[in-house]
């Protein structure tokens, strides 16, 4: 009997320690542009450490002697732009991977790789220190202001028996009854969620109470670790709430 009581007490303690409110922030596509400013600052550091001075019309600039940096930075920029504007989910992502493998094998079979690598090796794009610093700082400023400020104007709060959609600059707040509500993670976008988002995801919310509606909350950070707790709160009754709060989807 004492063992049973102890186990029940332990379970109660664990349950009481769980947060009774979770805030879910939706981020814009700009969140996935972090490689642009991160790689830019890295190349700025390399250019500052190993760059050579080149004079153009009485103006001296610092340029890295390798022609690979500019080409790599251009490719990173184009890949990020492509990944944030093309959604590849579920079976489609598998098709893309298989297509890439098939293309690689075709190039090997046709002996095209030597020509492709030779062409890439001859590609020369030079960017000076000023470009890396200015462009990376501009992108970082826009990225940080969006992720840490503007994206917080629209968010969801989940409590036992209640889900609230907050819109700071628009419609205010809308409260939805969680009885019969469905909160699921949409199929992962291979490029956006796993390669750039490091485990982010999109939530689909379907409210069936007095105030009905279906909503997609895109680009929620750490969605996999928070979805289970959100589903628990949706299934709970309002009188089980406490004051403990945790925020999901916020950058660390």
Q: How confident is the model at residue 170 (pLDDT cuts 50, 70, 90)?
A: low
Query: Which of 148, 178, 207 is where one domain is finished?
Result: 148
For residue 149, is pLDDT > 70? yes
Taking the CA atoms of the chain, what radius of gyration do you get in angstroms? 25
Q: Is residue 7, in this structure, part of any structural domain at all?
A: no
Q: Is residue 183, in this structure, part of any structural domain at all?
A: yes
For residue 1, is pLDDT > 70? no
Q: Is residue 3, in this structure, part of any structural domain at all?
A: no
For residue 26, is pLDDT > 50? yes
Predicted TM-score (pTM) of this structure: 0.73
Mean pLDDT of the 182-209 span: 80
Q: Is residue 190, in this structure, part of any structural domain at all?
A: yes
For residue 13, is pLDDT > 50? no
pLDDT at 161: 79
Residue whose token pair is 């400013």: 37
Same domain, 131 and 49: yes
Residues of the chain above pLDDT 90, percent = 17
Same domain, 42 and 134: yes
Please name the residue ranges forming H helices in 18-56.
Answer: 34-50
Q: Total structural domains in the chain?
A: 2
pLDDT at 35: 93
Q: Is residue 196, in this structure, part of any structural domain at all?
A: yes
pLDDT at 2: 36
203 contacts: CB under 8 Å, gap ≥ 6: 24, 183, 184, 185, 186, 216, 217, 220, 223, 227, 230
pLDDT at 11: 46
Query: Which of 122, 148, 174 is where one domain is finished?
Result: 148
Q: What are the φ/ψ torsions at residue 73 (nearest 5 degrees)? A: -65, -40
pLDDT at 164: 85
Determine the structural domain holding residue 244 and report its residue range: 21-28+154-248
19 or 183, which is more confident: 183
Q: Mean of the per-residue pLDDT values for the chain?
A: 78
16 exposed, middle or buried (CB, 10 Å; 0-12, 13-18, 19+)?
A: exposed
Same domain, 43 and 135: yes
Mean pLDDT of the 132-147 span: 95
For residue 233, is pLDDT > 70? yes
Mean pLDDT of the 134-161 span: 91
Query: Which of 117, 148, 179 is where one domain is finished?
Result: 148
pLDDT digits (tens, 9 = 90+) for 29-74: 899 999 999 999 999 999 999 989 888 888 888 999 887 788 888 8
Rounded distance, CA 234 to CA 160, Å? 6
Same domain, 164 and 134: no
């Amino acid at each position: 009997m004492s063992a049973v009581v102890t186990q029940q007490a332990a379970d109660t303690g664990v349950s009481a320690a769980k947060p009774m409110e979770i805030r879910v922030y939706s981020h814009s596509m700009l969140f996935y542009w972090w490689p642009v400013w991160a790689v830019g600052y890295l190349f700025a550091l390399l250019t500052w450490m190993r760059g050579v001075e080149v004079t153009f019309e009485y103006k001296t600039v610092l340029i890295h002697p390798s022609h690979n940096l500019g080409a790599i930075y251009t490719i990173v920029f184009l890949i990020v732009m492509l990944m944030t504007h093309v959604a590849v989910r579920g079976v489609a992502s598998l098709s893309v991977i298989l297509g890439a493998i098939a293309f690689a094998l075709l190039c090997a079979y046709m002996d095209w790789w030597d020509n492709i690598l030779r062409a890439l090796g001859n590609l020369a794009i030079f960017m000076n220190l000023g470009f890396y610093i200015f462009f990376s700082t501009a992108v970082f400023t826009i990225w940080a202001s969006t992720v840490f400020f503007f994206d917080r104007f629209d968010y969801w709060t989940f409590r036992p028996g209640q889900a609230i959609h907050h819109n700071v600059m628009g419609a205010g707040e809308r409260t939805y009854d969680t009885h019969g509500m469905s909160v699921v993670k949409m199929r992962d976008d291979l490029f956006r969620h796993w390669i750039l988002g490091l485990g982010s995801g999109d939530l689909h919310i379907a409210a069936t109470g007095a105030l009905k509606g279906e909503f997609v909350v895109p680009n929620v950070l750490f969605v996999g670790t928070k979805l289970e707790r959100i589903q628990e709160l949706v299934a709970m009754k309002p009188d089980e709430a406490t004051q403990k709060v945790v925020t999901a989807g916020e950058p660390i």
